[in-house]
Amino acid sequence: MSGGHHDHLGHDEHSLEPIRYPRQNVVAVIDTAQQMEDAVNELTAGGFLESEIGIGSGADIADRMRETTGRSGFTAMAMRFSEALGVPNDESEVKARYEQAMRDGRFVVAVLAPTSERKRRALDILTLHGAHDAVYFGRFVIEKLQSGVDG
């Protein structure tokens, strides 16, 4: 992995590209750089491409995440409106947890997993390397994940 921090979609920290909703991604928090590097190495050895793995850490990326809903059009407006009113929703709560993890110096790792098998495999590998707070971002639902392996 390169030395710079990346956002959850693998963009360079100075990229002007918007952060988007990580559809079909397993996303989890990993506490240390060593655990993160070990997880990424095992993911790539296990058939995931580097381009399918994103890592976010640091206040700059957390700030970029806070500034966007990751959505566009009417969905973005509805998300912003509910946030402004203080109406809780799963997506905002998950986003806030990941944002805080990055501010705390932990790593948010996202792995593209468009099939059930790849979702399970990504989760198992991440869990083996200490990942927690794992969710899967589906098209219409955010699914809280539990691995069958002990981390």
The distance from CA 95 to its chain's CA centroid, rounded to whole angstroms, is 9
**12 within a domain of the structure (yes/no):** no
Q: Report whether 57 contacts 110 (CB < 8 A).
A: no
Q: Does 128 or 89 have the greater pLDDT score? A: 128
Q: pTM for the complete prediction?
A: 0.74
Domain total of the chain: 1
pLDDT score for 9: 41
**4 within a domain of the structure (yes/no):** no
pLDDT digits (tens, 9 = 90+) for 7-64: 444 444 444 455 566 789 999 999 999 999 999 999 999 999 999 999 999 988 888 8
pLDDT digits (tens, 9 = 90+) for 94-143: 888 988 999 999 999 999 999 999 999 999 999 999 999 999 988 877 88
**31 within a domain of the structure (yes/no):** yes
**50 within a domain of the structure (yes/no):** yes
pLDDT score for 5: 40
Pure H helices in 2-148: 33-45, 59-66, 73-85, 90-103, 116-128
**1 within a domain of the structure (yes/no):** no
Residue-number span of the structural domain to which 95 is assigned: 25-144
**140 within a domain of the structure (yes/no):** yes
Flag whether pLDDT at 151 surpasses 70.
no
Q: Report whether 7 contacts 15 (CB < 8 A).
A: yes
Q: Report whether 97 contacts 142 (CB < 8 A).
A: no
